Chains A and B, each alone.
Chain A
């Protein structure tokens, strides 16, 4: 009888072997995944007890933690000017977090490996470990100007401003916004949870960061890309192409102002940009071909997955078109072309920076609680969009938009400072037009590049979006 007993003993051992392997799988290999699982509340309960580092704009702490006090070991996250910075900072809540609070979580709460030594020393000295503080690239005045502009207008939309030479994001505002304080309370968790649910279900989508994560048809602002493709193909600002009153692209494509662009004669590239001529630019797109158009858009950052900055960015699209009717419309930023406001700011910044598009970033530096710098931004070129001479030509053409006699974006002009800009009015299937303005200034020494979109503004880019862009640019230049 010993043989079956031995076999049974081996089988019993195998049962234990399965259990040992399985606990190893759970506790060693799957542990990290399970700890960060979305259902796992443990991670957030811990996080409420941590002295979280601050998020800074300039010298101001726009998000910081303070002890709840009393018997509680928890910390309350407080947002200064909450609605102003919410599109960037996001909100830190019991349960989950968004924006910079989410992407920089490990640094803010002190779990990051780079903070391990400091934490260990804190543990030895018996001090409470402190998270690192995150310095944003945001420019207070520019951000405020963006919010003021949208509040005055009372419309949804977004504004993004970049430092063209580095890619630093100077402003990133999305309208409507919300107050993170309303959802971050650790003492009144129920009300905070309800407030969050309200925001989530709000039809106006206040939690959506439109600047980075919403795609719009860019309309005529995309003509800069079309012009860039033409110049790169060897044309000059004086090169001409047919610019009739309407162009037959399946359905007739008219100009925004009615009538031909140059009295019926072929129009020059420079003049077409200045007055935002549809028919000539559509002809240029057809002339250059779908592949060249897509290549040029890609060189500006379209069709490319941009890594998180560190918050996630939605990819902008400019697919290759073969049908001339569609290609013509895509040349003026309609049909299948879709861009985030950030992408259009990158188009302006690329032109401003002699053709080099810098990788955008939101975090200037990260400092441990002892103020030692553990991370700092190192600007790098994301893509080279156009040559230096093309960039110069485009700049001249864009100055014409704000300063030319027939310029479509004169309301974006700043007295005493040359502004290079481009308006856009994009038709939508869902309602009134989206109104765009992209620009940079000063034209000879660019310090700021902006893209503003007013969602379903129903007016023109020059009247609705340009004043907001002007305010942002002034805030940066006049500081």
Chain B
């Protein structure tokens, strides 16, 4: 092990409490500002929200104080802040405008409560996350099952073009949100056992005397091939779920790199993925739509200016338009440096603003300053997760913690990068912020896993009773 891996054995639970209270306060102030700006009055249900959301977060804190006292004190406040801002923005979009037909902050709050209960359950019952290592193939089957669930006729639903939902009658679930966690567990377990063969067995490609690339043996590329085939065939072709495909394959590459430290895996993986995308490009129409709406978002026939409104041949009438993307950029530009203030903007100009494009609503109302705070909170969450991976001693936990952290980072990049036109829009959810139960629950599950792992990593080893002598304490 390299030198500074162990975290100092301090609990800092009081710091966590103060920061959590601060995050709750920010949430409530955001709601107050939205209420005063839009309706000229304090939100009528502010007390309720304060008691429920604040109470839940403080409760989570005390739960951690007792059951995971050594865990990283930054995780809960960051999650509370992001979740609270999400609730405040939904309140501003729905309750504050008096129209809760499309969703509501109260709904999100109830889902938050349920997610936090699951969070507490995992922290309480999963004392040793490494026990998950025992069932890698079960996890693999579970992940595949969850991913394929929406393809079952009658159960699956297609929303906004992507078949990634299942209907349970009273509510809809997005099983891919949970599949990605199961996949990380499987990959951690699988790669810990297959690490050596994946890392060492190789064929060297040389140009003259210089080693260019260490290629893995053909038969060792099977997991890569399976992963690739699954991402391309099932997710892209059958389900039109580019976001999940990108997310899973990206996480897979990151984890195989962590396990083997071989860049050839990344090169092969990227080549295979983008090669497949390029090859499929002429045949999968929604590929083209996403590329064109990304690259030529401001082209009149892609955006659908007035002159193309009645033109049945125009791109925006036959394929898709870039209105959401462009209006999102306009919203962010309107926000400028400091934003219009909660309730002061016009986020409803962006179609479907409550989903991925809620980020543009934050950009408009909280400004560059506000979205930078959100991005920094997410970045901090990710980097604390990486720190847990560094500090842990077991390989499985290292893989698991870094895998989940990277999943959070890449998920943020895929969705916000899509909204801000860095990459084509593919559809994913901002961790903790996005509306909807599946996304929220999976975020809190990941947080619970990180929390538990950080507790175990930071907990000081039991002291020997005597300095030297007969009794040797073995800790588990």
Contact = CB atoms under 8 A, between A and B. Distances in A.
Contacts of B387: 9
B134 interface: no
B368 interface: yes
Question: Of residues A5, A13, A28, A30, which shows the largest number of chain B Cβ atoms within 10 Å of its Cβ?
Answer: A5
B258 A4 contact: yes
A30 B412 contact: no
A32 B329 CA distance: 12
Contact of A27 (B259, B333, B349, B375): B333
B363 A16 contact: no
Contacts of A13: 379, 383
A267 to B, nearest CB: 56
A30 B413 contact: no
A3 B383 CA distance: 15
Interface string A13-37: 1011011101110111011111101
A6 B5 CA distance: 11
Interface in B306-347: 326, 329-330, 332-337, 346
A20 B375 contact: yes
A5 B389 contact: yes
Nearest to B330: A40
Interface string B245-266: 0000000001001111100000
Contact of B422 (A3, A12, A18): A18
Contact of B330 (A19, A23, A28, A35): A35
Most chain B CB inside 10 Å of its own CB: which residue of A15, A24, A40: A15
B133 interface: no
Interface in A128-142: none
B371 interface: yes
Contacts of A7: 257
Contacts of A31: 332-334, 336
B390 interface: yes
A12 B382 contact: yes
A28 B337 contact: yes
B76 to A, nearest CB: 20
B416 A8 contact: no
A42 B420 contact: no
A34 B390 CA distance: 43
Interface string A29-51: 01111110101111001000000
A27 B412 contact: no
A96 to B, nearest CB: 11
B201 to A, nearest CB: 18
A19 B413 contact: yes
B303 interface: yes
Interface in A29-80: 30-35, 37, 39-42, 45
Binding site of B, secondary structure by majority: helix, strand, loop or mixed?
Answer: helix
B420 A26 contact: yes
A372 interface: no
B330 A42 contact: yes
Nearest to B307: A197
Given A27-B333, A27-B367, A39-B298, A22 B422 contact: yes
A2 interface: yes
A45 B402 CA distance: 48
A1 interface: yes
A419 to B, nearest CB: 48
Interface string B215-246: 00000000000000000000000000000000
A26 B329 contact: yes
Contacts of A39: 298, 303, 305, 326, 330
Interface string B381-417: 0110011011000010011001001100110110011
A15 B375 CA distance: 11
Contacts of B2: 2-3
A24 B335 CA distance: 11
A34 B258 CA distance: 41
B422 A19 contact: yes
Given A4-B261, A19-B416, A27-B368, A34 B333 contact: yes
B409 A5 contact: no
B329 A2 contact: no
Interface in A407-465: none
B389 A18 contact: no
Contacts of A37: 298, 330
Contact of B402 (A8, A16, A32, A34): A8
Nearest to B371: A23
A82 B148 CA distance: 66
Given A13-B383, A15-B413, A34 B329 contact: yes
B141 to A, nearest CB: 27
Contacts of B409: 12, 15-16
B412 A19 contact: yes
Given A28-B368, A35-B334, A9 B420 contact: no
Contacts of B332: 23, 26-27, 31, 34
Contacts of A1: 258-259, 261, 395, 398-399
A5 B402 contact: yes
A47 to B, nearest CB: 13
Contact of A5 (B346, B390, B412): B390
Nearest to B401: A5
B383 A27 contact: no
B386 A5 contact: yes
A36 to B, nearest CB: 9
Given A15-B413, A40-B330, A42-B330, A8 B390 contact: no
Contacts of B395: 1
Interface string A298-316: 0000000000000000000
B417 A18 contact: yes
A1 B396 CA distance: 11
A44 to B, nearest CB: 12
B473 interface: no
Contacts of A16: 375-376, 378-379, 382, 409, 412-413
A15 B410 contact: yes
Nearest to B262: A4
Contacts of B159: none
B372 interface: yes
B218 to A, nearest CB: 24
Contacts of A41: 349
Nearest to B405: A12
Given A5-B390, A13-B379, A24 B333 contact: no
Contacts of A28: 336-337, 368
B1 interface: yes
A35 B421 CA distance: 17
A415 to B, nearest CB: 54
A444 B28 CA distance: 78
Contacts of B363: 23, 26-27
A12 B258 CA distance: 13
22 contacts: A2-B1, A4-B257, A4-B258, A5-B398, A8-B257, A8-B386, A8-B402, A9-B382, A9-B390, A12-B382, A12-B409, A12-B410, A16-B382, A16-B412, A19-B412, A20-B372, A23-B368, A27-B336, A35-B334, A37-B330, A41-B349, A42-B334
Interface of A: 1-9, 11-13, 15-16, 18-20, 22-24, 26-28, 30-35, 37, 39-42, 45
Given A27-B337, A34-B333, A35-B330, 20 more contacts: A1-B395, A5-B389, A5-B390, A6-B386, A8-B258, A11-B254, A12-B382, A13-B379, A15-B410, A19-B416, A23-B375, A27-B332, A30-B333, A31-B333, A34-B329, A35-B334, A37-B298, A41-B349, A42-B334, A42-B346
Q: What are the 5 closest A-B residue pairs judged by CB atoms, nearest first?
A: A34-B333, A9-B386, A12-B409, A27-B368, A16-B379
